[in-house]
Amino acid sequence: MNTLIIGAQYISETAKQDLSDLAYTLKQELNLEVKFGIYSQRGYAVTWWEVINVWMPAGGIYLSGKILDKLIDRFLDWAEKRIETEKKEKNGKKARPKCITIYGPDGKAVSSVVLYDNGDKKRRTQEELKNGYNKLPPNELEFFQ
């Protein structure tokens, strides 16, 4: 079974539960094992967005075509659920946008999408991804279940 690493600088308890649900779905639909990790902040980390990074370690499946699209769809499902949860917790106030970037084994971004609380989606173009969207999993990634 191929492994997918999902990481963020901070993941709330609610988000951890939502991510566990996502991991179950990915395992069932795409036959992917999922590991979660939290890594330490770099720089100022000034963003209102909830940022999730996803890595396919070396030897993982090639992220293209239908598999990548299905992976993005499942993350968008997760993001929509998170936005609805946040709105309920905040009595209908705005929820933070959710940004998901998927990296291949070489650390190069394969795809990235942002979901805003009004339902708008912005998928970054390949040209945008070439300009600065490269990141290997941090060495200090602290895994949790």
Per-residue pLDDT reduced to its tens digit, 41-93: 665 555 677 788 888 766 555 565 677 888 889 889 989 988 998 888 888 88
Number of separate domains in the chain: 1
Beta strand 109-115 with 98-103 is antiparallel
Predicted structure pTM score? 0.78
How distant is the alpha carbon of residue 118 from its chain centre? 19
Average pLDDT, the chain: 78
E strand or H helix at 33: strand 32-38
pLDDT value for 33 = 82
- Tokens for 15? 């988000």
CATH code of the domain containing 24: 3.30.429
Identify any residues that bridge with 100 across adjacent strands, giving them in sequence order: 52, 113
Percent of the chain whose predicted confidence (pLDDT) is above 70: 73
pLDDT band at 4 (very low <50, low <70, confident <90, very high): confident
Can you give the residue range of the structural domain that contains 8?
Answer: 2-144
Beta-carbon contacts of 85 under 8 Å, excluding residues fewer than 6 positions away, are 14, 18
- Tokens for 2? 């191929």
